[in-house]
């Protein structure tokens, strides 16, 4: 059994990007730019935004963080996004979710220019993803495909079972793996809470992707021998032995399931670190696309 080391792969990607960004700087005197917009005081969002900013600094991507008060109006936020849509220093705009209840997430996502939507959540980009056109992949699903690629795990003709159908993980990863492309071309089944006998589906998976949000929900009896397990879940469970009083576990019972798996991602240190690495990758790709447009390619 091989543990898929997302922390190591994410570091490799950041190092590769650092080199590429420094090449851009030498050639064009400019670097890619990312703005993160944070509305309100959500502590987890603050941590995520700080991590994203630190990662940008590490690879040499220019970053701005806009911290707005909880009572910011939807129209004000849209105006700010429009300003960044036409700001040449900025190639990626991310609005940290969740937003306060009085702001429509859909409206905000749709206000971001699809050319700068490095989270890959804009309906135009998701539509392009479904029909197999070049687009920004949402960062977590992109990270999953990158892990499978770098560990040389064959997906062509394999049965992938995705548990979870969210717009940010389940649906995009299922659609990406379905494409008739290198690193995809899988037979895909998507399960959700209406599945009466989940095990009936999960037990047939060559590759199982769990994006449920329930601690240790996938147990050893639900998978077959040799399965590849990608655990997207990040769940806090009480643990008095730790300083914080909790620990993070995935949607998969790692102890049990790892005995049957051929490959498995741990939590933490699996899919999690890949998400930010792919955000940087998307920002880099956005910069390159803008250069190609400027040079009429
Ligand atoms: P959502 O809550 O949006 O979606 C959860 C999905 O799981 C839903 O489709 C739901 O079904 C399904 N589900 C819930 N209970 C069951 C069940 N009993 N049987 C089958 N399916 C079930 O979650 P997200 O996709 O946003 O996130 C999933 C997990 O991944 C969370 O733990 C989250 O923290 C983590 N995550 C990690 C990221 C990372 O960077 N590693 C990034 C994003 C998320 P239904 O649609 O019917 O309700």
Q: Where are the domains of the chain?
A: 29-113, 139-271
Nearest alpha carbon to residue 129 among 116, 144, 141: 141
Count, residues in the chain:
297
- Average pLDDT, integer, range 153-166: 98
In sequence order, the 6+-apart residues with CB closer than 8 A to the CB of 11 are: 273
Nearest by Cα to 139 from 254, 228, 10: 10
> Which CATH superfamily, name and number, covers 139-271?
NAD(P)-binding Rossmann-like Domain (3.40.50.720)
Q: What is the pTM of this model?
A: 0.97
Helix (H) or strand (E) holding 83: helix 74-85
CATH number of 29-113: 3.40.50.10860
Yes or no: say if 4 and 273 are a contact pair by the CB < 8 Å rule.
no
Please state the rounded mean pLDDT for residues 237-258: 96
Q: Is the pLDDT reported for residue 297 higher than 90?
A: no
Look at residue 108 and tell me whether its pLDDT is greater than 90: yes
pLDDT band for 294, please (50, 70, 90 cuts). confident
CA of 59 to the centre of ligand 1 (A): 30
Calpha distance 55→96 (Å, rounded): 16
Common-topology check for domains 29-113 and 139-271: yes
Query: Cis peptide leading into 77, omega within 30 of 0?
Result: no
| pLDDT class of 295 with cuts at 50, 70, 90 | low
Best mutation site among 140, 214, 232 for ligand 1, i.e. most ligand atoms within 8 A of its Cβ?
232
Could you give the percent of the chain with pLDDT greater than 90?
98
Q: How many CB atoms lie within 10 A of CB 78?
A: 17
Q: Tens digit of pLDDT for each residue in 118-128?
A: 999 999 999 99
125 lines ligand 1 (CB under 6 A): no
Characterize the bridge pairing of strands 235-238 and 246-249. Answer: antiparallel
| Distance in angstroms (rounded) separating the CA atoms of residues 70 and 101 | 10
Asked if 22 contacts 155 with a C-beta cutoff of 8 angstroms, the reply is: no
| Residue 232 near ligand 1, beta carbon < 6 Å | yes
Q: How far is CA 248 from CA 129, 156, 215, in A?
A: 31, 32, 9
252 CB within 6 A, ligand 1 = no
Flag whether pLDDT at 194 surpasses 90.
yes
- Residue 292's pLDDT band, with cuts at 50, 70 and 90, is confident
The answer to whether 112 and 141 have CB atoms below 8 angstroms apart is no
Please tell me the distance between residue 212's alpha carbon and the centre of ligand 1 in angstroms. Answer: 3
Tokens of 263: 């490959």
Q: How large is the average pLDDT for residues 12-35?
A: 97
């Amino acid at each position: 059994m091989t543990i898929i080391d997302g922390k190591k792969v994410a570091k490799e990607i950041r190092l590769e990007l650092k080199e590429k960004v420094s090449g851009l700087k030498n050639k064009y005197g400019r670097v890619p730019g990312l703005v993160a917009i944070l509305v309100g005081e959500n502590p987890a969002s603050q941590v995520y935004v700080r991590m994203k900013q630190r990662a940008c600094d590490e690879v040499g991507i220019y970053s701005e963080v806009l911290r707005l008060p909880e009572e910011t109006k939807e129209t004000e936020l849209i105006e700010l996004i429009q300003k960044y849509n036409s700001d040449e220093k900025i190639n990626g705009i991310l609005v940290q979710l969740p937003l306060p209840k009085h702001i429509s997430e859909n409206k905000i996502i749709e206000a971001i220019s699809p050319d700068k939507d490095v989270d890959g959540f804009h309906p135009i980009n998701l539509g392009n993803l479904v029909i197999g056109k070049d687009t920004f992949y949402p960062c977590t699903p992109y990270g999953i495909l990158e892990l499978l690629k770098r560990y040389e795990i064959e997906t062509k003709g394999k049965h992938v079972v995705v548990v979870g159908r969210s717009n940010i993980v389940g649906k995009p990863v299922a659609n990406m793996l379905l494409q008739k492309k290198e690193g995809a071309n899988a037979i895909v089944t998507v399960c959700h809470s209406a599945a009466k006998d989940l095990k009936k589906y999960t037990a047939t998976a060559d590759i199982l992707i769990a994006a449920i949000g329930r601690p240790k929900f996938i147990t050893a009896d639900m998978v077959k021998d040799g399965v590849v397990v990608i655990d997207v879940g990040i769940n806090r469970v009480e643990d008095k032995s730790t300083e914080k009083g909790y620990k993070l576990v995935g949607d998969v019972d790692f102890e049990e399931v790892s005995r049957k798996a051929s490959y498995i991602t741990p939590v933490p240190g699996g899919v999690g670190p890949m998400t930010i690495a792919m955000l940087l990758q998307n920002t880099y790709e956005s910069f390159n696309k803008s250069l190609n447009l400027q040079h009429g390619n």
